[in-house]
């Protein structure tokens, strides 16, 4: 069957994005606000967003960085540390400041040095969150340097997730940016208390792409892309209609200088074409009819929020992802699939 040339869906939300701060924030928020109504804002700033006061100040800076006509809503998260006070989480949730809490294992990824050293340190916080029905967002990778980087997500399931979900049987958890078939299977086995976000880049690239003709630092992110069979499992999950899986871009800009370095930063900047990239991936497996559930319905349902009322329309129209974005004289950022042609475009 020939697929149609336009697609109208409820306005989507991004359930995992890095907007950064300062001059980068001011340049990039508009990309996320172009198509998304709401987004879960990652708290891994320097210093991290660990309190209500810091979250409110950051939310204000985000609001100030938005175009005047935007009605985009940032949903703030609290960066969990061994020292987080359960009461701060409870107040933050009840006061509508924190939508969720982000659990970075210490040392797992960019700006995660002050993350959690062991689940036993945060049991008071998890108790409170379980009672509140407040989602815990986990960066699901073990950090042991002797564990192969391609195995870190799978091992995290056994070592951290299974015991934590059993100790806190009513805790709502999002397994962020999943990359493996093991994560897909585990999420499917846990019913509605465990959700998972899937990025556009993990639907489109596999680990070989990082080494195509040479090393490609702009395709390096964490969790790192895995082999073909895992990408297939992610595509299958995202397009299955299963409401445990929803959109989270993990758009994570770094300057070209930071990426093209002897020790390049992890992170892929997908915000400028986010919805189009997902449409591209869904179209490749003839599943555009499943895009709305994944992008616009499953996430709000998990978070207990209404789906957006407005819609967006995508048209089948070739266009080129910009080659780069200039933040200021010194800082330039390369978007995912820079210079490549995408087949779908969201109408302004
Ligand atoms: C993220 C970043 O740069 O902040 N990087 C990434 O590769 N995804 C951090 C993260 O989400 O792991
Ligand atoms: Zn992230």
Mean pLDDT of the chain: 97
Question: 51 C-alpha vs ligand 2 centroid, how far in Å?
Answer: 19
88 CB within 6 A, ligand 1:
no
Q: Which of 250, 258, 270 to mutate to test the pocket of ligand 1 (most atoms within 8 A of CB)?
A: 250
pLDDT in tens, 26-63: 999 999 999 999 999 999 999 999 999 999 999 999 99
* 200 Cα–ligand 2 center, Å: 13
**Percent of the chain surpassing pLDDT 90:** 95
The predicted model gives 12-26 an average pLDDT of 98
User: 96 — alpha (psi -120 to 50), left (phi > 0) or beta?
Assistant: left
Q: If pLDDT is split at 50, 70 and 90, which confidence band does 153 have? A: very high
Q: What protein residues have CB closer than 5 angstroms to ion ligand 2?
A: 250
Residue 2's pLDDT is 55
Q: Is 221 in the pocket of ligand 1 (CB under 6 A)?
A: yes
Whether domain 2-346 has CATH 3.20.20.140: yes
252 lines ligand 1 (CB under 6 A): yes
- Residue 310 CB neighbours (<10 A): 8
Q: Does the C-beta of 266 come closer than 6 Å to ligand 1?
A: yes
Q: What are phi and psi of 95, to 5 degrees?
A: -85, 0
Work out the percent of the chain whose per-residue pLDDT is above 70.
99
Distance from Cα 153 to the centre of ligand 2, integer Å: 14
Mean pLDDT score, 137-156? 96
| Conformational region of residue 321, where left means phi above 0, alpha means psi within -120 to 50, and beta covers everything else | beta
Predicted confidence band at 174 (pLDDT cuts at 50, 70, 90)? very high
Active site residues: 250
Protein residue closest via CA to atom 6 of ligand 1? 267
Domain boundaries, the chain: 2-346
Q: Is the CB of 153 under 6 A from ligand 1?
A: no
Nearest to 197 by CA among 265, 256, 270: 270
Q: What is the pLDDT of residue 111?
A: 82
**Run of H or E residues at 54:** helix 52-65
- Cβ–Cβ under 8 Å, residues 296 and 326: no
CB atoms within 10 A of CB 100: 25
**Cβ–Cβ < 8 Å for 74, 25:** no
pLDDT > 60? residue 204: yes
For 211, list phi and psi in degrees, rounded to 5: -125, 20
Q: What is the mean pLDDT of residues 99-121?
A: 91
**What pLDDT is attached to residue 3?**
66
Residue-level pLDDT at 113: 85
Answer yes or no: is the C-beta of 109 below 6 A from any ligand 1 atom: yes
Confidence at residue 4, expressed as pLDDT on a 0 to 100 scale: 82
DSSP calls for 70-123:
---EEEEEEE--TT--HHHHHHHHHTTSEEEEEEPBTTSSTT-TTSBS-GGGGH
State the pLDDT confidence band at 107, using cuts at 50, 70 and 90: confident
Nearest bound ligand to the CA of residue 140: 1
Is pLDDT above 90 for 123?
A: yes
Report how far ligand 1's centroid is from the alpha carbon of 301 (Å): 25
Mean pLDDT for the stretch of residues 283-289? 97
pTM of the entire predicted model: 0.97
């Amino acid at each position: 069957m020939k697929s149609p040339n336009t697609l109208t869906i409820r306005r989507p939300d991004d359930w995992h994005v890095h907007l950064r701060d300062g001059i980068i924030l001011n340049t990039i928020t508009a990309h996320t606000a172009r198509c998304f109504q709401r987004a879960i804002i990652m708290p891994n700033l320097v210093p991290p967003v660990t309190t209500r006061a810091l979250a409110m100040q950051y939310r204000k800076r985000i609001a100030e960085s938005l175009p005047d006509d935007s009605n985009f809503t940032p949903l703030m998260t609290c960066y969990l540390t061994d020292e987080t006070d359960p009461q701060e989480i409870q107040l933050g949730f009840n006061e509508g400041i924190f939508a969720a809490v982000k659990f970075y294992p210490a040392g797992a990824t960019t700006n995660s040095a002050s993350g959690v050293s062991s689940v036993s340190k945060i049991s008071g916080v998890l108790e409170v969150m379980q009672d509140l029905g407040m989602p815990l967002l986990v960066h699901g990778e073990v950090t042991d340097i002797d564990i192969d980087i391609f195995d870190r997500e799978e091992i995290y399931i056994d070592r951290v997730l299974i015991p934590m979900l059993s100790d806190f049987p009513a805790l709502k958890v999002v397994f962020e940016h999943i990359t493996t078939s093991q994560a897909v299977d585990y999420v499917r086995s846990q019913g509605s208390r465990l959700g998972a976000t899937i990025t556009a880049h993990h639907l489109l690239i596999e680990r070989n792409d990082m080494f195509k003709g040479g090393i490609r630092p702009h395709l390096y992110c964490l969790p790192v892309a895995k082999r073909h069979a895992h990408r297939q499992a992610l595509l299958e999950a995202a397009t299955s209609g299963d409401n445990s899986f929803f959109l989270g871009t993990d758009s994570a800009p770094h300057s070209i200088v930071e990426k093209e370095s002897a020790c390049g930063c992890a992170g892929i900047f997908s915000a400028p074409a986010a919805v189009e990239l997902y449409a591209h991936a869904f179209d490749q497996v003839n599943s555009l009819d499943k895009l709305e559930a994944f992008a616009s319905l499953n996430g709000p349902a998990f978070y207990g929020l209404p789906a957006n009322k407005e819609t967006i329309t995508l048209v089948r129209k070739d266009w080129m992802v910009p080659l780069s974005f200039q933040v200021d004289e010194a800082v330039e950022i390369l978007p995912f699939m820079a210079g490549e042609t995408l087949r779908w475009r969201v109408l302004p």
